[in-house]
Amino acid sequence: MMLMSEPALPAPSRIPGARALVASMLIVLLAGLAAAVLRPLTPPGSIALVFLVAVLFSAVLYGLWTGIAASGLAFLALNFFFVEPVLTFRVALAEDFLSLSVFVLVAGLTGTLAGRLREQATAAEERARLLEHLSQLSSTLGAVASEDKARQALLHCLHVLTGRPALVVDHNLSADPPMSPDDLQAADRVLRHGTPQVAAASGWSDGRYSFYPLVIDPDVPLVAGVFRSGPSPDLGRAVMSAIEQTGAVIHRLRLGRIAGEARMQAERESIRSALLSSLSHDLKTPLATILGSVTTLRELASALPEAARNDLLAAIEEDARRLNAYVGDLLHMTRLQAGLDLRLDWVDPPDILDAAVARIRRAYPGRIIITPIEPDLPLLCTDASLLEQALFNCIDNANGIAPAGTTITVALRREHGTLQFSVEDEGPGVPADDQHRIFEPFQRGETGAPNGTGLGLAITKGIVQALGGSLGVESPLTPKGGARFWLAFPLPEGRSA
């Protein structure tokens, strides 16, 4: 913990209160009555002992100064009422003078010692109380997640420590209840300079609070205000310790927040750079093929055999289509990010599956696709064309990953009160590390489709979320790999049975 200079709180006052003085006078009075009763029965020396007991009581109950006052009072009473000549303060006999002197000495000593013991015990109790509050504060601070909570914990702690109101003031200088002008000035000075400002004694100024720096920060400094009171050095230390602890916690919270922001910023940057490099790659590669092929056809035409010319033309066509599909995906994605216009209607789920599969079959006639569909499925209220696109992207993704000749299974069934579309392939599978980010834009897995745009599954995710569904992937399905992508939509109430 930070070391701070001794707090400049007002010196402690041990002058006894009027109550203690009156009480000790009563005790001495009682002793005097007891002595008067006992006088005929006991030797004169014992009278002094009765008064000594009274002094001891006063000191033990009310502390050092009360003990001393009681011993003075006892001396006077003893002298006045019990030493010859009685009812005067004169002392006639030499031995009486001696015994009175011894009495004063013993009573003073007893009062002092007992009073000091009493005060030490009180101080120890007080310290224990302070320590308990401080440890409570530090356990509260250990769990706080926000600066506000830390400030509240400090206010609570200062309040129970001092029994007076406390403040935490930031650069807006607002407080509840509002501060007096002198307090405002003091708080402002502490905010600016970071040095404590102790409230003047009552009557000297309007300021009622002492202010201490809580967080020294050029941008958002904080100060804590403690109501002017007469705390002991122990209380002063406890108040400073509470402020220091809270300051350290707030400082840590702020650093944590800055680090968190930096991390998020870095993440955004890395997504942006992945996006840029992917955009560049996906647009440049087909363009490179097209430009290279076209320039070859123009510049080397005479040296090219017929078959080579045809192949170059085919390559140009394929990559122009690829570019078109890519630009289409990009537009889809932009539209998804801008918010979708949903056209909801009741549709028969198998129709959607059939449409998506038919589109894939047209594009890749060689692929074997089987479509197990559970009978008697309820209707689904959804946007048919968007859902078809989401499912199509999933099947397209599987088609790109799975080796030629393997089977893709596109299934539809009820599952835990939802309607679930699933696309299962016999490809290499999705490594566990990639499963959480495979639906993010431009995240091609190591084993991903080399010709994909990196957007297909992101579009699927965007659509499924817009339609109120959920999606996921399970992999591997067998020791050899395989992956199962699923899209699930809640079934209408009452029809899920």
Helical pair 94-143 and 233-299, crossing angle rounded to 10 deg: 20
CA distances from 98 to 47, 282, 394, 405 (A): 15, 113, 112, 124
30 residue type, one letter: L
Choice from 160, 175, 198, 304 touching other proteins (CB under 8 A) = 304
In the complex, least distance from residue 491 CB atom to other proteins, rounded to whole angstroms: 43
Residue closer to other proteins, measured from CB, 308 or 340: 308
E strand or H helix at 32, and its extent?
helix 18-38
Residues 6+ apart with CB under 8 A from 107: 51, 52, 55, 70, 71, 74, 75
Residue closer to other proteins, measured from CB, 293 or 397: 293
Q: In whole angstroms, give the CA distance from residue 278 to residue 61.
A: 84
Answer yes or no whether residue 255 interacts with other proteins by CB under 8 A.
no
Choice from 284, 321, 436, 480 touching other proteins (CB under 8 A) = 284
In the complex, least distance from residue 318 CB atom to other proteins, rounded to whole angstroms: 7
Answer yes or no whether residue 290 interacts with other proteins by CB under 8 A.
yes
**x/- track of binding to other proteins for residues 378-397 (CB under 8 A):** --------------------
Choice from 291, 344, 368, 381 touching other proteins (CB under 8 A) = 291
Choice from 101, 202, 295, 407 touching other proteins (CB under 8 A) = 295
Answer yes or no whether residue 317 interacts with other proteins by CB under 8 A.
no
**Which region among 193-201, 235-243, 288-296, 325-333 touches other proteins (by CB under 8 A)?**
288-296
Instruction: Output the six-digit token pair for 442.
Output: 């431009």
Residues 6+ apart with CB under 8 A from 9: 198, 210, 231, 233, 235, 236, 239
Answer yes or no whether residue 285 interacts with other proteins by CB under 8 A.
yes
DSSP, collapsed to helix, strand or coil, labels residue 470 as: strand
Answer yes or no whether residue 296 interacts with other proteins by CB under 8 A.
yes
Q: In whole angstroms, give the CA distance from residue 216 to residue 192.
A: 9
Answer yes or no whether residue 287 interacts with other proteins by CB under 8 A.
yes
**Which region among 167-175, 176-184, 302-310, 470-478 touches other proteins (by CB under 8 A)?**
302-310
Answer yes or no whether residue 293 interacts with other proteins by CB under 8 A.
yes
In the complex, least distance from residue 293 CB atom to other proteins, rounded to whole angstroms: 4
Strands 222-227 and 418-425: unpaired
Instruction: Output the six-digit token pair for 182.
Output: 């002198």
418 φ, ψ (degrees, to nearest 5): -120, 165
Choice from 312, 353, 390, 395 touching other proteins (CB under 8 A) = 312
Strands 345-347 and 380-382: antiparallel
If binding means CB under 8 A, how many residues of this protein chain bind other proteins? 28
Answer yes or no whether residue 308 interacts with other proteins by CB under 8 A.
yes
- Residue by residue, DSSP assigns 118-176 as HHHHHHHHHHHHHHHHHHHHHHHHHH--SHHHHHHHHHHHHHHHHSS-EEEE-TT---S
Residue closer to other proteins, measured from CB, 172 or 302: 302
Answer yes or no whether residue 90 interacts with other proteins by CB under 8 A.
no
- Scanning residues 182 to 201, which ones bind other proteins (CB under 8 A)? none
Q: Are 147 and 167 within 8 A, CB to CB? A: no
- Scanning residues 64 to 83, which ones bind other proteins (CB under 8 A)? none
- Scanning residues 318 to 347, which ones bind other proteins (CB under 8 A)? 318-319
**Which region among 80-88, 273-281, 459-467, 481-489 touches other proteins (by CB under 8 A)?**
273-281
Q: Which residue has the tokens 């006045």?
A: 80
**Which region among 225-233, 251-259, 314-322, 375-383 touches other proteins (by CB under 8 A)?**
314-322
In the complex, least distance from residue 179 CB atom to other proteins, rounded to whole angstroms: 57
CA 38 to chain centre: 71
**Which region among 82-90, 209-217, 256-264, 305-313 touches other proteins (by CB under 8 A)?**
305-313
| Side-chain half-sphere CA neighbours of 214 within 13 A | 29
**Which region among 96-104, 193-201, 229-237, 290-298 touches other proteins (by CB under 8 A)?**
290-298
Q: In whole angstroms, give the CA distance from residue 400 to residue 56.
A: 98
What is the binding site for other proteins (CB under 8 A)? 276-277, 280-281, 284-293, 295-296, 299-300, 303-304, 308-309, 311-312, 315, 318-319, 450
